[in-house]
Amino acid sequence: MKKNQTIPEKIWQFFCSVKLAVYTLVLLAATSIFGTIILQNGTKQEYLRLYGEVFYNLITVCKLDDMYHAWWFLLSIVILCINIVVCSIERLSITWKIIFPKQIKFNPQRFRKLKNLETFTVNKDVKSLSGPYETFLSKTVGKVIKEETDSGRVLYAEKGRWTRIGVYVIHSSILLLFIGALIGALFGFKANLRLDEGETSDTAFIVKKRMPINIGFSIKCNNFFIKHYDTGAPEEFRSNLTIIENGKESFTKDILVNHPLRYKGINIFQASYGTAQPDSIILDIIRLSDKDVTNTTIKVGQEIQLPEDQGLFKLEGFMPHFDFRGNNLGEAFIGKITQKDGNSFQIGLPVKFPTFDKMRKGTFAFVVKEFEQKYYTGLQVTKDPGVWYVYSGFILMIIGCWITFFMSHQSYFIEIRNNKNNFSKISISGTTNRNSQGMKLKIQKIVIQLKGK
């Protein structure tokens, strides 16, 4: 390192360091392990239950609960991107001179000393062999450079100089991957949206933060369909959704698990489902003294007069899971009875246990006879504006790896020298910037081909 460097030069040398790239990669790899092991985007209660209060505080301070959006993780990616760019620029000038030289030169003496040098003799003179060998080398390799020597002639040809750019293609692909990740982390979102059948909304809620976000158009759940196995387990569930924009319906589509709806850069996934609150129910009001039954239809939120002016009953709502003394009784409706003396109390009406309210031993028992089963669909709404950078990065990486590992810069050397009694001695060798063993096999193959000419 030079002494008395300016501050810009020191900054340049810092980002030009290969050690910086290694340390940053190790940091990203190590922290990614934490991101895999530690629950991401969980609730406070989940973290306290899994890790305890001490580790929960440490996790929140270090942002390990949403690690891939943490400022220090994104900063590490930015540093690595700068490091890749600076290293590439630093070394590109040398590579550029190799790829695009002002004049192609070669040293015959260097090729004569190569380990893959092959020699043989031919019963022809230099002049008669020079033309066919030059044509062969031109067709199989590329442009041929000829030089006369004291004892004969040398032919030189090369191909694949441009393949040295392969490593820079890989560098570019990594940059695109990181840039895509940064754009997705900074400008994308992952949100949840719950829609009852028939409901329309243009607002989803960011995962964990529960912050509302307007997605730019409305989604309407027309219907929800579920298919069960014979065991009762869900086999398939899907939502029939309509996209509404500027008050007009754009299109309608069914979405299933792993078959999302995509619209204007936003992905809508089928994530979950559940039982939604019905609009109304058919209720039997049984007078326990003589078993007299009054059948009525009541809407959620509606209040009705009980028979014989015994008070009021209001259907307050619906619960998908009704807990009674620590036991989950499943779906249930919640009602409130207001007696004539003004006293009121709540009752639960489990759908699977129609005689449940009789245990209360009041004047009347209430039984849910019938209701229209309605569902809600749980949608995951995501936006990742960096995804096309990521896709482009993967494509570019495949191209770069192919160039780097399966292509090479190859140079071929053929020397034709006069020998005794009108014989010519042929020497063939070659160089490559990778896979020297493969080059040796190619030289041997060329020897076989030239012997037949």
Confidence of residue 453 (pLDDT cuts 50, 70, 90): low
Q: In what side-by-side order are the strands of the sheet with 332-339? A: 303-305, 311-319, 332-339, 344-350
Please tell me the distance from the alpha carbon of residue 326 to that of residue 353, in angstroms, as a whole number: 16
Number of residues written out for the chain: 453
At residue 65, the pLDDT reads 86
The reported pLDDT for the residue numbered 333 is 94
Q: What is the residue-averaged pLDDT of the chain? A: 90
Average pLDDT over residues 239-257: 92
Question: pLDDT of 146-188, one tens digit each?
Answer: 999 888 999 999 999 999 999 999 999 999 999 999 999 889 9
Per-residue pLDDT at 275: 83
Measured from the Cβ of residue 105, the count of other Cβ atoms closer than 10 Å reads 8
Grade residue 18 by pLDDT with cuts at 50, 70 and 90: confident
Average pLDDT over residues 378-398: 94
Antiparallel, parallel or unpaired: β 266-276 and 118-122: unpaired
- Residue 337 CA to residue 345 CA, distance in Å, equals 6
Band of pLDDT at residue 3, cut at 50, 70 and 90: low
The DSSP result for 156-195, as a single string, is: EEEE-GGGGGHHHHHHHHHHHHHHHHHHHHHH-EEEEEEE
DSSP 353-407: -TTGGGGG--SEEEEEEEE--EEEEEEEEEE-TTHHHHHHHHHHHHHHHHHHHH-
pLDDT given for residue 431 in this prediction: 95
CA dist., res. 124 & res. 133, Å (int): 12
The mean pLDDT value for 209-238 works out to 87
Kindly state the tokens that stand for 99: 């790829």
Q: Indicate the pTM of the whole model.
A: 0.71
Question: Three-state SS for 453?
Answer: coil
Tell which residue, 384, 146, 355, has the closest CA to residue 265. Answer: 384
Within 81-150, strands assigned E span 118-122, 144-148
Contacts of 382 (CB under 8 A, 6+ apart): 188, 189, 190, 191, 266, 267, 269
C-alpha–C-alpha distance, residues 72 and 189, integer Å: 19
Average pLDDT over residues 9-36: 87
pLDDT band at 367 (very low <50, low <70, confident <90, very high): very high
Distance from C-alpha of 144 to C-alpha of 167, rounded to nearest angstrom: 27
CB 39 within 8 A of CB 56: no
Confidence (pLDDT) at 43: 79
**Using 50, 70 and 90 to split pLDDT, how confident is the model at 66?**
confident
3-class secondary structure for 321-346?
CCEECCEECCCEEEEEEEECCCCEEE
Tokens, residue 133? 């060998």
As given in the structure block, the two tokens for residue 60 are 């929140």
- The residue among 389, 391, 384, 382 whose CA lies nearest residue 260 is 382
Q: What pLDDT score does 357 carry? A: 92
Give the model's pLDDT for residue 1. 52
What is the per-residue pLDDT for 63?
Answer: 86
pLDDT in tens, 305-333: 998 888 999 999 998 889 998 899 988 99
Q: Which residues touch 420 (CB under 8 Å, ≥6 apart)?
A: none
